Amino acid sequence: MSNATGGGDMSTRHERRRYRREASGALLTYLVDIDDPLIAHPLLQRAAHNWCDGLSTPPHRECVTCGIQMSGRRYVGALLLTTPAIIKPTTASVFGVCRECWLIRDLSLEAIERKATEVLQPVVPNGRFEPLRDTQR
């Protein structure tokens, strides 16, 4: 078996910012660039894809930190993805961070996550995390 994956891929010119973090043992939070292919994370990849699919249809998604409406993928700088901290999570919630906040204001993960937590409060009535889903029916 010589299938060693992982480690530095030297073809990547600009480094991508990507964070992973465990919040109070209950949630895993990922903050990734909008262009991050998320190849090793099918769940996050799917969640991000679904989220981006809804970008062009009103009501437009808002930046989680500044509230600006993002009416297309090019306005999005990063995604904040959250999953339950279990072995095989099946749901992920997605928040968008606009380009301005991500690239120009250069907000930290802490700042972004704090805002996301505020936004999440209404859907966490008992302190238990519920996936935030835009289900169309």
Per CB under 5 A, residues contacting Zn ion are 63, 65-66, 98, 101
Q: Which is nearer to Zn ion, 19 or 85 (CB)?
A: 19
Q: Which is nearer to Zn ion, 41 or 48 (CB)?
A: 48
Residue 70 CB, nearest approach to Zn ion (Å): 8
Q: Which is nearer to Zn ion, 43 or 68 (CB)?
A: 68
CA dihedral of 55, 100, 13, 22, whole degrees rounded to 10? -80
8 A C-beta contact, residue 54 and residue 47: no
8 A C-beta contact, residue 83 and residue 104: no
Residue 47, burial from CB neighbour count under 10 angstroms (0-12, 13-18, 19+): buried
As a whole number of angstroms, the distance between CA 86 and CA 129 comes to 12
Residue 21 CB, nearest approach to Zn ion (Å): 20
Q: Which is nearer to Zn ion, 30 or 95 (CB)?
A: 95
Residue 89 CB, nearest approach to Zn ion (Å): 26
Residue 119 CB, nearest approach to Zn ion (Å): 13
Spell out a b/e string for 35-45, using b for 16 or more CB atoms within 10 Å of the CB, else e: ebebeebeebb
